[in-house]
Structures are given as structure tokens and as C-alpha cells.
Amino acid sequence: MMPIAVYDAVFVAAAVTLVSDRRGRLGWVALVPLIAAAAALAPLGDHRYLIAPLVALVATLPPVRAAAPALVLAAPAYGSLRAALLAAALFLVTVWLADGLDRRVEQRGAAPSWRGAPARFLVLAVLYAALLPVGHL
């Protein structure tokens, strides 16, 4: 099975966060890539098979509303702590930008059929395209 790319995982996690409408523990969610990267670097020898379940367990420790995006962010293979830091920053920036745009779309009165989740997905799709060069850093 091909692992999910870091850039894609960030946007899936952001989509889950935005659609759930219950923002909680965003700081914790952003910490998960760092935990996953640190765990991957840990000297576990023959017990490396423990990394994935342990990271998944840690990611789901916060309240359940933050578990889904945290698990998504735990999935990719982070090559370095720098990559994990970048993913964490990208996640926070994406959610922040999408939140601001979501409010703007609501204020300006988008078509009723587009309000809510459809508008948020479209905003995320545009941000995915606009921030794509970050995925190459």
C-alpha cells in the first residue's frame, strides 16, 4: 500500500477539521507530525512495528473531536523533523486561512446550496492548488 503524501495528509486533516465544525485542540493536532517523526527516529531496533500503533494511540489521546485529523496527520512517513515541522505549520496556516475565507463567504452570501461544507471544500481545493509549491520544500 502506498503511504499518503505529507502534503495530501495535511489537506485531508484540514478538511476533516473544517467539516467537523468543532475545532478543538488544534495545537495538539499540529504536534502529531512531530511526535510521528520523533517516533520514527527512535532506536527501537527489531521493535519498529510498534511505532505505528503507538503513534496512533498518542494521536487519539485528546478528546475525540480532535482524533480524526490527528490520526490523518500521523499516517504519512515524515522523512525528518523539518518535514514534520513544515507539515504542522502548513496544517495550522491552512485551517486559519480556510476559516477566514469561510467567514467571508458566509458574510458575502454565497448561494444557499454552496454554503457550509461545499464552500469549505472548494476553498480547500483552491488552497491545495495555491500552496502546492510548499509540498516540494
How far apart CA 75 and CA 80 sit, in angstroms, is: 14
Query: Residues near 100 by Cβ (< 8 Å), separated by ≥ 6?
Result: none
**34 binding another protein? (CB under 8 A):** no
# residues contacting another protein (CB under 8 A)? 27
We find the least distance from the C-beta atom of residue 111 to another protein, in angstroms, to be 6
106 binds another protein per the rule CB under 8 A: no
Residue of 133, 131, 126 lying closest to 101 (CA atoms): 126
Which of 34, 85, 110, 116 is the binder for another protein (CB under 8 A)? 110
Q: Is 57 in the site for another protein (CB under 8 A)?
A: no
Q: Does 123 bind another protein (CB under 8 A)?
A: yes
Tell me which residue has cell 486561512.
97
